[in-house]
């Protein structure tokens, strides 16, 4: 398994309070790594530092052999194309359809004029439809995002990451607001993707029983540090 | 239940708080009294003027309908002024609002001058702009259009930028994480979220511009307002009544169309 993502010694302080202290993590292709930790343990900050939505105060992030910390906007955007993210609150554009939300994954590749006119090429449309089909939403292509159920919206968010053809998928508490049955279905889908698409999935979770059931490897976080490492 | 809480559940107000409230109340009353004095409010004069108003009202009936065709054309000119003025203002507002919104333009070097410019534009009324522009481009509706456009640009840009700033950050982050550039993020994540609000603001300003353009005729900027001023100057109150009815019909129709469109957008 290829090493995709390695973060070492990440630190982040907000208003004098250390929320991330010397956090380190690595992720290989085809593995599902779960991060378990209580609220406020630093899981979301770790994810936001890994994607550089938040700048870490110190540490290194190597993604596909390239250092992310210090990358300027254009180079960072290029690296992010191969890094899919699934957010706890889905973060869909609520007035757009499921299909248009999945096409977000094709934005970086599409010419500017196509994006301005929201007129995507046939190839992009096919990829987006295939991604929606992979998450079981082939019948909801043109349904507006805000009319979908929570579980369906999360599936659209995963399809968005799939359409991006990313190598890693960072999922920040993707099942926190879902019922147990839908949560299990979403995690099952993520685990299947590690096998079928060779994705590396890093996923924060609250529920130990789900971690035990789905994860290949478990990290636990406490007080901003990754405190233990084990096979599930 | 006796309907009242025990006194310990209510936060007791201190003597200092009660004194501060009393002082503020006295200052507010004094300030308001000064405003009445400075504004020379005198209901006695209104009372004395009422018979004159009544005579004019009596002379206004029946309304003079001989020029309804011409006056309707002048009303259409007013609607055109408002419509073109708003559209020009909205075009100017596009770059201004993008530069003035904190979440789109984090750099204060660009944002603060943009905010300064839009505050200056909205601080000067369209009437003042038209007054100056009539001297520059001559009498007629074009001066009114420019006056409306400049004031509307500042006001629309201010409201648009505030709307952009209240947009949900989540979709913007999600689209940013796809590796898309800033323009694509604005087009795909920000715009669909705020477009109904931006359109609603524009329609509101269209209504406002049509109402405002009825007044612009007073400074020579054409439209129905100019006919109104001429008729008042000539004490032709039967013609004034016709014009007022036309203005009410015009504004009601515009408000109705705009309101209908805004309801459909939400």
pLDDT of amino acid B117: 93
pLDDT at A120 over 80: yes
pLDDT at A35 over 80: yes
pLDDT of amino acid B47: 92
Query: Per the CB < 8 Å rule, is A93 touching B183?
Result: no
The verdict on B178 touching A (C-beta cutoff 8 Å) is: yes
Query: Per the CB < 8 Å rule, is A164 touching B178?
Result: yes
> Do β-strands A17-28 and A3-14 pair in parallel, antiparallel, or remain unpaired?
antiparallel
**What burial letters (b/e) apply to A78-98, b meaning 16+ CB within 10 Å?**
ebbbbbbbbbbbbbbbbbbbb
Cα distance from A217 to chain B (closest Cα, Å)? 25
Cα distance from A60 to chain B (closest Cα, Å)? 19
Q: CB contacts < 8 Å between A and B, how many?
A: 82
Residues of A with Cβ-Cβ distance to B174 under 8 angstroms: 85, 87, 91-93, 104, 157, 160
Cα distance from A51 to chain B (closest Cα, Å)? 8
Name the closest residue on chain A to residue B192, using Cα atoms: A95
Name the closest residue on chain B to residue A79, using Cα atoms: B179
The verdict on B179 touching A (C-beta cutoff 8 Å) is: yes
Query: Per the CB < 8 Å rule, is A94 touching B188?
Result: no
Neighbours of A65 (CB within 10 A): 9
pLDDT at A78 over 50: yes
Alpha helices in chain A (DSSP H): 43-50, 73-80, 98-102, 112-117, 122-134, 150-163, 180-196, 208-214
Average pLDDT value for residue range A31-51:
89
Q: Which domains does chain B have, with CATH numbers?
A: 65-265 (1.10.3720.10)
Query: Per the CB < 8 Å rule, is B178 touching A105?
Result: yes
Name the closest residue on chain B to residue A166, using Cα atoms: B178
Mean pLDDT over the full length of chain A: 88
Chain A residues within 8 angstroms (CB to CB) of chain B = 51, 53, 77-85, 87, 89-96, 104-105, 107-108, 110, 112, 115-116, 118, 157, 160, 164
Give the domain ranges of chain A: 1-82+167-232, 87-165
- The CATH code of domain A1-82+167-232 reads 3.40.50.300
Residues of A with Cβ-Cβ distance to B195 under 8 angstroms: 95
DSSP string, B189-228: IIHHHHHHHHHHHHHHHHHHHHHHHHHHGGGT--SHHHHH
Name the closest residue on chain B to residue A50, using Cα atoms: B177
Closest CA to A87 of A104, A69, A111, A108: A104
Share of chain A above pLDDT 70, in %: 98
**Among candidates A81, A89, A118 on the partner chain, residue whose Cβ is nearest the Cβ of B178:** A81
The verdict on B184 touching A (C-beta cutoff 8 Å) is: yes
Q: What is the pTM of this model?
A: 0.77
The verdict on B18 touching A (C-beta cutoff 8 Å) is: no
Query: Per the CB < 8 Å rule, is A112 touching B192?
Result: no
CA distance linking residue A220 with residue B22, whole number of Å:
59
Say what the ipTM of the complex is: 0.88
Q: Residue A95 in contact with residue B193, Cβ under 8 Å?
A: yes
Whether a cis peptide bond, with omega within 30° of 0, leads into A95 is no
The verdict on B193 touching A (C-beta cutoff 8 Å) is: yes
Angle of helix B237-265 relative to helix B43-60, nearest 10 degrees, comes to: 100
Cα distance from A181 to chain B (closest Cα, Å)? 25
CA distance linking residue A209 with residue A191, whole number of Å:
15
Q: Residue A36 in contact with residue A209, Cβ under 8 Å?
A: no
DSSP string, A37-78: E-TTSSHHHHHHHHTTSS--SEEEEEETTEE-TT--HHHHHH
Average pLDDT value for residue range A132-144:
89
pLDDT of amino acid B7: 61
Cα distance from A136 to chain B (closest Cα, Å)? 21
**Among candidates A77, A83, A90 on the partner chain, residue whose Cβ is nearest the Cβ of B181:** A77
Low-confidence ranges of chain B (pLDDT < 70): 1-8, 266
> Can you say how many angstroms the Cα of residue B213 is from the centroid of all Cα atoms in its chain?
11
């Amino acid at each position: 398994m290829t090493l995709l993502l390695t973060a070492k010694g990440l630190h982040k302080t907000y208003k004098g309070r250390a929320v991330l202290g010397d956090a380190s993590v690595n992720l290989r292709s085809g593995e599902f790594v779960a991060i378990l930790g209580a609220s406020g343990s630093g899981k979301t900050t770790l994810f936001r530092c890994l994607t550089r939505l938040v700048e870490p105060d110190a540490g290194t992030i190597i993604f596909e052999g390239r250092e992310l910390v210090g990358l300027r906007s254009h180079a960072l955007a290029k690296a992010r194309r191969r890094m899919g993210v699934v957010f706890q609150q889905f973060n869909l554009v609520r007035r757009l359809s499921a299909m248009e939300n999945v096409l977000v994954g094709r934005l970086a590749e599409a010419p500017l004029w196509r994006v301005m006119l929201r007129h995507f090429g046939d190839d992009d449309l096919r990829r987006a439809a295939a991604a929606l089909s992979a998450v079981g939403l082939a019948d909801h292509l043109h349904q507006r995002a805000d009319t979908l159920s929570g579980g369906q919206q999360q599936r659209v968010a995963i399809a968005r990451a799939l359409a991006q053809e990313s190598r890693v998928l960072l999922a920040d508490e993707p099942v926190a607001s879902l019922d147990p049955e839908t949560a299990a279905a979403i995690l099952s889908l993520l685990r299947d993707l590690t096998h079928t698409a060779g994705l590396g999935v890093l996923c924060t979770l609250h529920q130990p029983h789900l971690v035990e059931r789905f994860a290949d490897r478990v990290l636990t976080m406490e007080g901003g540090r990754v405190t233990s490492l084990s096979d599930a | 239940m006796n309907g009242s809480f025990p006194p310990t559940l209510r936060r007791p107000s201190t003597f200092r708080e009660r004194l501060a409230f009393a002082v503020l109340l006295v200052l507010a009353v004094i300030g308001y009294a000064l405003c009445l004095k400075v504004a020379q409010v005198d209901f006695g004069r209104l009372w004395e003027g009422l018979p004159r108003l009544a005579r004019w009202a009596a002379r206004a009936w029946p309304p003079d309908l001989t020029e309804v065709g011409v006056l309707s054309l002048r009303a259409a000119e007013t609607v055109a002024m408002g419509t073109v003025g708003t559209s020009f203002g909205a075009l100017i507002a596009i770059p201004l609002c993008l530069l003035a919104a904190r979440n789109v333009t984090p750099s204060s070097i660009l944002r603060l001058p943009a905010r300064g410019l839009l505050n200056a534009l909205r601080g000067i009324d369209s009437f003042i702009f038209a007054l100056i522009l009539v001297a520059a481009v001559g009498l007629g509706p074009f001066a009114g259009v420019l006056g409306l456009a400049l004031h509307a640009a500042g006001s629309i840009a201010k409201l648009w930028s505030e709307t952009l700033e209240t947009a949900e950050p989540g979709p913007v982050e999600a689209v940013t994480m796809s590796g898309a550039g800033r323009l694509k993020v604005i087009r795909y994540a920000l715009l669909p979220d705020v477009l109904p609000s931006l359109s609603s603001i524009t329609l509101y300003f269209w209504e406002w511009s049509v109402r405002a353009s009825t007044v612009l005729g007073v400074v020579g900027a054409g439209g129905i307002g100019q006919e109104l001023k001429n008729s008042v100057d000539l004490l032709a109150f039967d013609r004034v009544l016709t014009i007022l009815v036309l203005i009410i019909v015009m504004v009601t129709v515009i408000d109705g169309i705009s309101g209908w469109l805004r309801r459909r957008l939400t």
